[in-house]
Amino acid sequence: MTTGVIDESFGGVTPDAARRLLLGAVEAFAERGFHATTTRDIAGRAGMSPAALYIHYKTKEELLFHISRVGHERSVAVLEEAVASAPDCAERLARAVRAFVRWHAEHHTTARVVQYELAALGEEHYARIVLLRRRSEEILRAVLEEGVAAGEFDIPDLRGTALAVMSLCIDVARWFSPEGRRTPDEIGALYADLALRMAGRRPAGLTSSSG
Amino acid sequence: MTTGVIDESFGGVTPDAARRLLLGAVEAFAERGFHATTTRDIAGRAGMSPAALYIHYKTKEELLFHISRVGHERSVAVLEEAVASAPDCAERLARAVRAFVRWHAEHHTTARVVQYELAALGEEHYARIVLLRRRSEEILRAVLEEGVAAGEFDIPDLRGTALAVMSLCIDVARWFSPEGRRTPDEIGALYADLALRMAGRRPAGLTSSSG
DNA sequence: GTCTATACAGGGATAGAC
DNA sequence: GTCTATCCCTGTATAGAC
């Protein structure tokens, strides 16, 4: 019955029972992993009988797929919004990282399922999720690319650095805890700075040439 | 029966059957997760019947604990060796990151189990593993701390940066694939450079004072 | 130490009443 | 749409022969 922190990512899901099941599943999958979670557990958290689950979802895996799809769509949207309007490349990178990190921290429960239970998806569902993941990689790489082109960044290995920044953000979902000493926003700010360092940001107004 | 890449971390385990079971379990846990892995599967990979597993390990969880313990001990040892002898702080950080990343890439199968199946450990076993994890955090933080004290690094948030560098290294285990375009060593070199950037390395011979 | 056979529990999914 | 009851499979772990 307990729902803990409500994840507004799933606010639009109807009917009510389907949403409650989704929220219960997110919690359970995050806590115990997909395979260790029983349909009885999920249904219990939603205040329903095990059988009721199958009215709204064909299988347990379909439940995971919905969570994964909505979660990925949200995180990509967050990233897109962040890069949409920024004065320069440095600010674009900072906003992107800050927003992406914040999402992974604030929604660490969903994010954990999204990032670490991929292997439990069926093949077809997995393929659809991979497409969404590629989107976010492309967005981040483009930000770095433009920064290099504009002379704002100094990045010897563009693809590798993009991957590393992405990786850094994603891993927040693994270790973040609301009981920890930092808020999602503080971590976002720290990581934005670290990303700028990784990108070798130059002070505005300078051009290349150095050791 | 297939063992894939042999992980020398477990080379010393005897008797032979116990080692084969351990290797089978590492593979299976990494591929499918602890809970999704059956004892039949593990025994099968070791070329034995399910019952034989229980001659060597009391439970499936004990198997996981052994993997986790040996894995953590190895990664801490790798880190310790790397920082042991280096001319300066920058080189110490670079060697630490490079070695730690290489371990997580080369032993990505073991590392995945070590990093992502912690929750499946029993409470007592979990507590013992946490102690080992703290060691590696302390080693890395100390390297950064000394660098700041020596004026080689510029790190506004020491604890946060140490955590981020650690996180970056660990996440390699999640995405690394031997089929990918980079070798463990190349990733190690890239990440060592990124870590130095995160640490705000100053060219040797300069002292502080700036905006 | 390893096997075959099996006890015993638990979980995904369905049937049928309401 | 939800419930109770239950089918049937799978999985951990053990018993006992060799």
- Quick one: pLDDT at residue A127? 97
Structure tokens at A183: 């808020």
Q: Give the residue-averaged pLDDT of A84-109.
A: 96
Q: Over the stretch B83-124, which tens digit does the pLDDT of each residue have?
A: 998 999 999 999 999 999 999 999 999 999 999 999 999 999
List of E strands, chain A = none
Is the torsion defined by CA of A56, A62, A65, A67 positive or negative? positive
Interface of B with A (CB under 8 A): 31-36, 115-116, 119-120, 156-157, 160-161, 163-164, 167-168, 170-172, 174-175, 182, 187, 190-191, 193-194, 197-198, 200, 203
Percentage of residues in chain A having pLDDT higher than 70: 93
The domain spans of chain B are 8-58, 61-198
Over residues B13-23, mean pLDDT:
92
How far apart, in whole angstroms, are the C-alpha atoms of residue A94 and residue A110?
23
For chain A, what percent of residues have pLDDT higher than 90?
89
Query: What DSSP designation does B180 have?
Result: S
CB contact under 8 A, B36 and A120: yes
Give A209's pLDDT tier (boundaries 50, 70, 90): very low
State the fold for domain B61-198.
Tetracycline Repressor; domain 2 (1.10.357)
Contact in structure between B170 and A171 (CB atoms under 8 Å) = yes
Q: Which CATH fold would you assign to the domain B8-58?
A: Arc Repressor Mutant, subunit A (1.10.10)
Within A85-122, where are the H helices? 89-106, 108-116
The correct CATH number of A8-59 out of 3.40.50.300, 1.10.10.60, 3.20.20.100, 2.40.128.120 is 1.10.10.60
Nucleotides of C under 7 A from a protein CB: 1-6, 10-16
Long-range contacts from B83-90, C-beta under 8 angstroms, 24+ separation: B83/B139, B83/B143, B88/B150, B88/B152, B88/B204, B89/B143, B89/B146, B89/B147, B89/B150, B89/B152, B89/B153, B90/B147, B90/B152, B90/B153, B90/B196, B90/B199, B90/B201, B90/B204
Overall pTM > 0.85: yes
**B9, HSE (Cβ side, Cα atoms, 13 Å):** 27
Average pLDDT value for chain B: 93
Residue in chain A closest to B101 (alpha carbons) equals A164
Which pLDDT score, from 0 to 100, does residue B207 have?
Answer: 53
Chain A interface, best mutation among B101, B158, B165, B197, by max A CB count within 10 A: B197
Query: Is the CB of B164 less than 8 angstroms away from the CB of A33?
Result: no
pLDDT attached to residue A101: 98
Min distance B193 CA to chain A CA atoms (Å): 9
- Which bases of strand D have any atom within 7 Å of the beta carbon of a protein residue? 1-6, 10-16
pLDDT digits (tens, 9 = 90+) for A117-176: 999 999 999 999 999 999 999 999 999 999 999 999 999 999 999 999 999 999 999 999
